[in-house]
Structure 1
Amino acid sequence: MSTILRSAAFRPATRGPDAAPDGRRSRIREKAPWAALAFTAPAWLYVLAFYLYPLASNVRMGFQNYTVSSFYTGVAPYVGWNNYRAVVHDSHFSQTVLNTVLFTAGSLVFQFCAGLALAVYFNRRFPLSGPLRSLLLVPWLLPLVVSGTAWRWILDTDSGVLNHVLLHLHLVGHPVPWLASTHDSLIAVTLVNIWVGIPFNMVILYGGLQSIPGELYEAAALDGAGAWRRFRYITLPLLRPVTAVVLTLGLIYTVKVFDVIMILTQGGPAGSSQTLTTFAYNLSFQQLEFGRGAAVGNLLIVVAVVFALLYLRSTREQRRTAR
């Protein structure tokens, strides 16, 4: 009996009918990396052609004296940091940076607050909640050119709907020059950008609210916690990861907003609504200072990368504490 067991133990395992030979397995393993590379190659080519190459060209142009003649001759001498020095010492730079900060901060705060309020409101069931939630997505789905043109008509000083409503309600004594006043133009473009960004905040925050277990609210209600205490001690803490995503993406998007401002005010009047994006456009395509325009674009890239790194660091720390 022991002899039979020993012979069975040392007997080579038989292959099934579907088992591949060792040589075939090795060939499959060798081909697997090349197959993966073939599937990902189109995506990498797209990123290289439309992201990395333009980014590298813009960074290089920021250190060159690139003019109109450079497009024909291909000659653009390197000037080091001169373009950045010229941009920083420009008389409009400080006001442009301040406008960008106010525009970004105002948009983020009101977009987030309004989006969170709508997300909390639609988180409960009531008739027609689905269609109403879909209608609120219209500002986000419309092309920015269409939205900007419509708001330009609404904010018109003489024939705009907004001024007619305000005058009819006796909230103002005379038409407000929303787009023609140095005091109101930045407020106008900020309000329009808030209107465009509210649906994005609402959708992301609504998804975060859906992931919070309802049992937590029921247990808190049984313990006597009111609506505000449930919102403060359950909703806000559990929405913190989603909030970080919304604010980071919103900041990166808002810093580079261009369409809305160009359609409404073109950065005017007198640069009162000009941000870094329109400043870069004016330098490159109106003053034909392509090197300085590229330098401003590179500054925007640095700002976006810094906040993206801060976001990644915060998410890494949250995962570490969660473990």
Structure 2
Amino acid sequence: MRSPVLGRFRHGYVAPAAVLVAVLLYAPFVWTAYLSLTRYDGLEPPSWVGLDNFGKLFADPALLTSVRNTLIWVLGTMVLPVGLGLLVAVLSYDLKGGAWYRVPFMLPYALSGAGLAMVWSPVLSHDGIANLLLGVDTAFLQEAPQNTVAMLLVWTWQQLGVNTLLFVVGLQSIPKEPIEAARLDGAAGWRLFRHVIWPLLRPLTAVVVGLALVASLKTFDIVWVLTQGGPGRNSETLAVTMYKETFVASQYGYGSAVAVLLTVVTGLASYLYLRRQVR
């Protein structure tokens, strides 16, 4: 039986959390959306310009570069950190001492994106360790799109461990009975994974891919520390473009327009992905 006291004050229980979300998430977004319709340099009061910032944004050739690089990040994240994380989890799950084999993959996740980029900067520079070990003369961070691919590999090195851990948790949650029954029927190796393990992992895979999708769309720290979006603007992502226009060029109105575009793209991609998973 429902308590009348609990029913009467049920909205009060969630009010603090709702206010916190409104103050920290919704209010800043509304303010950013307003600034995107103004010309604002951070000093003078904002002046209304309507959709001029968005017109300027869509006419900027650098936007296509940012969108291209962001798409490379999204697709690469789906294939590399997620795919390799699943592979490492499956291969090490049944091994004796498999947890120890996963430790080297987990350690890079303890580093921040900026710290990770600082570690790899001397490796990928033109006169760096990578060229010395490979015996080549390649400007890994100077030419597009190979600079984005190189940074994506660094991102993979960091994210591989946490994806592996999530998939291991998923494997541990799978009931043993279906797997044992499949083995009695002669399933093993790829057939066992393809027809039994993979279908049972699909709910967790949807979560891992969703998290990776949102994270790749917001990629900033690794790109900023390694290339700052350069040379020129050929390695910028939407997040880097937003930062440069807002905090480097002090074009807060234009930078807010980029932020609104990034928010819309992230929200739309997440909605379409989750809707597909629900279906």
Shift of 1:35: 8.0
Deviation at 1:139, TM superposition (A): 1.7
Q: CA deviation at 1:32?
A: 6.8
Q: Secondary structure at the match of 1:181?
A: coil
Local SS of the residue matching 2:32: helix
1:67 is matched with 41
1:88: Cα distance to partner? 0.4
Compute the TM-score of the two structures, normalised by the length of structure 1. 0.79
- In 2, Cα distance between equivalents of 1:52 and 1:226: 50
Kept in 1, the 8 Å contact 2:179–2:197? The answer is no
Query: Aligned partners of 2:184, 2:69: CA distance in 1, in Å?
Result: 49
- Aligned partner of 1:279 in structure 2 is 241
Q: Is the Cα–Cα contact under 8 Å of residues 107 and 191 in structure 1 kept in the other structure?
A: no
Mapping 1:1-323, distance limit 5 Å? 29-30=4-5, 33-34=8-9, 37=12, 40-70=14-44, 75-127=45-97, 129-158=98-127, 160-167=128-135, 174-317=136-279
Alignment gaps of 5+ in structure 2: none
Letter in 1 for 2:87: A
Aligned residues: 279
Structure 1 Cα separation of the partners of residues 55 and 251 of structure 2: 14
Partner amino acid, structure 2, of 1:217:
I
Hey, what does 1:15 align to over in structure 2? none
Moved more, 28-37 or 50-59: 28-37
Letter of the structure 1 residue corresponding to residue 225 of structure 2: I
Higher relative contact order (CA 8 A, sep 6+): 2
Residues in 1 aligned to 2:184 and 2:169: alpha-carbon distance in whole angstroms: 25
Quickly say closer, same or farther: Cα 1:35–1:234, change in 2 above 3 A.
closer
Cα 1:31–1:225 shift into 2, 3 Å: closer
Distance 1:131-1:41 versus aligned 2 partners, 3 A rule: farther
- Does structure 1 retain, via aligned residues, the 8 Å contact 2:41–2:251? yes
Give, in angstroms, the shift of residue 99 of structure 1: 1.4
Give the SS at the match of 2:180: helix
AA partner of residue 153 (structure 2): L
Structure whose alpha-carbon radius of gyration is higher: 1
Contact 1:96 1:274 (8 Å CA) reproduced: yes
Deviation at 1:241, TM superposition (A): 1.4
**Structure 1 residues 140, 42: closer, same or farther in 2, change over 3 A?**
farther
- Whether the 8 Å contact between 2:70 and 2:237 is mirrored in structure 1 is yes
What whole-Å deviation, never above 9, does each CA across 1:154-186 have from its counterpart, x for those lacking one? 21222x32222212xxxxxx3322123345311
Once the two structures are superposed, residues 119-167 of structure 1 have per-residue CA deviations (whole angstroms, 9 ceiling, x without a partner) of 102221412x223334422222212221111011221222x32222212
Counterpart code for 1:93:
L
Note closer, same or farther for the CA distance 1:35–1:304 as it changes in structure 2 (3 Å cut).
same
CA distance in 2, matches of 1:165, 1:214: 46
Mapped partners of 2:6, 2:47: distance in 1: 47
Q: CA RMSD in A?
A: 2.3
CA shift, 1:94, in A, is 1.3
* Cα offsets for 1:72-110 (capped at 9, x unmatched): xxx322222111110000121112211111122112211
- State the 1:113 CA deviation: 1.3
Contact 1:189 1:273 (C-alpha < 8 Å) held by counterparts: no
Q: Retained in 2: the 8 A contact 1:248–1:307?
A: no
